[in-house]
Chain A
């Protein structure tokens, strides 16, 4: 069978491999190389060693600010999104009337693109700020921060809710029934059965929100575009600005991108390690 198929190996795979090389492999390797060089177009690179990596942190405080802003944002989003979506999932697995319709509604914002989401919330948050304080989103980084938190909550809660619902529905009904017969209160059932049983879903959701928060770009660009004064720029936006906002800083942008990649990859590997460990335990 293997021999029979392998004659056709490249008939089946050639186009995908070519596309993968053009879109990913070559740009990725070239990106790593270029992060050690000075360049404006890809062809005029000159080797500068680690200079770009030093410059990423020393030219100005933008990158560290963006990193700190992103971390703060990720922590707040992970907590709020997961609590709200888990609460909704609990409510919507209670077999009341209309649960399917509500699930449909809560999930819907997830399908809207980041740019569109950003402008929707810009209108609303600016409207509220104007009435309450007479200013707009560009007035303080505080507003931009909480604006982004509200926006990502609106977008991602429905998605995480769906994953939690699947997790809760996977709990064996016998387990809950047995606890009820033994006289456990709804509170005890929640904390001693439901929450421990959905821990795999919690791992998935925490890492999904973490990865999505770290990679957030479109929403950031549309809602604040870093205003005021690049204070609300997250990592992805800061890298974009370094590449395209300033001539001669392409190398620094690429170095920042490599650091960004290492951060995101580290998050992914930690998730993998945790999931593997749990699978072995079970």
Chain B
């Protein structure tokens, strides 16, 4: 086979695999335009005059689960938790890396240790404590996300900070900068690449998180994953049309975010995986 033919064969093969890879989403998209009783019986047929439901699944589903409210809560919690995590854990990581004491060492190991503890271990006690402290609301849950996100984030930040020469900070100190000024004018800008990684890893986790928000705030405030799970009534009695439409609405923001910052996401996932 000459090079050109090989190239074409590769392209066709990969294109086929890509279609298989994207097919599940396409099938859900097609079904989201069918009437709810025509979905389970024949999910692979295209909508026809009889089964086509237009946008009624979208309109019905949005009302049924309060999609825009859920979207709002998801955005609010994700954006503010990620900002808080990046800011607070980078500050903490800087201190415990630069000030070498027993306390710093202990804290570092405690944070790293928390990374390997599965959520089920703490879910019951944590949600009860959140309830007792009255932080079981969309603002309070940010604090919980800071606590849970701190393990991986501090691990990544500390690794990066160790590679920054301390001379820069010493020079700033001699020039009379306060530690707060040193951090925000000197260190934080240097941390930008690792901050992006931390932000992306935490965004993916918090946006898709189901169990934690469900246990802590789920009865009063539904994020998107909770709202979708809520559609599942008794088996067979749920509205399949609304479910399909809501799955599509849940995927769209993720795909847009992915297409916009694809490069950062793949890089972030790689550095997160290799170190974590």
Contact = CB atoms under 8 A, between A and B. Distances in A.
B95 A13 contact: yes
A23 B146 contact: yes
B7 A96 contact: yes
Nearest to A105: B18
Nearest to A107: B266
B125 A42 contact: yes
Given A16-B150, A111-B258, A111-B265, A116 B179 contact: no
A57 interface: no
A34 B41 CA distance: 47
A112 B118 contact: no
Given A1-B169, A1-B170, A2-B98, A113 B125 contact: no
Interface string B91-126: 110111011110000010011001011111111111
A85 B10 CA distance: 16
A65 interface: no
Contacts of B35: none
B73 to A, nearest CB: 15
B184 to A, nearest CB: 11
Interface residues of A, number: 91
A88 B13 CA distance: 11
Contact of A27 (B7, B122, B258): B122
A4 B179 contact: yes
Contact of B270 (A13, A18, A19, A162): A162
B180 A8 contact: yes
A61 interface: no
Give the most central of A17, A21, A138, A221: most B CB within 10 Å: A17
B125 A217 contact: no
B122 to A, nearest CB: 4
Interface string A1-37: 1101111110111011111111111111011001000
A28 B122 contact: yes
B21 to A, nearest CB: 6
B210 A113 contact: yes
Given A26-B125, A108-B255, A113-B225, A260 B10 contact: no
Contacts of A21: 147
23 contacts: A7-B179, A9-B95, A12-B179, A16-B89, A19-B143, A23-B126, A24-B114, A24-B117, A42-B128, A42-B132, A88-B17, A97-B10, A105-B21, A105-B22, A107-B266, A113-B224, A119-B243, A120-B25, A123-B244, A124-B43, A218-B225, A240-B120, A258-B121
Interface of A: 1-2, 4-9, 11-13, 15-28, 30-31, 34, 41-42, 88, 91-92, 94, 96-98, 102-116, 119-121, 123-124, 126-127, 130-131, 138, 154, 159, 162-163, 166, 204, 208, 214-215, 217-218, 221-222, 227, 235-236, 239-240, 243, 250, 253-254, 257-258, 260-261, 264-265, 268
Interface of B: 6-7, 10-11, 14, 17-18, 21-22, 24-25, 27-28, 31, 39-44, 88-89, 91-92, 94-96, 98-101, 107, 110-111, 114, 116-126, 128-130, 132-133, 135, 143-148, 150-151, 154, 166, 169-170, 173, 178-180, 183, 204, 207-211, 224-225, 228-229, 232, 235, 240, 243-244, 247, 250-251, 254-255, 257-258, 262, 265-266, 269-270, 273-274
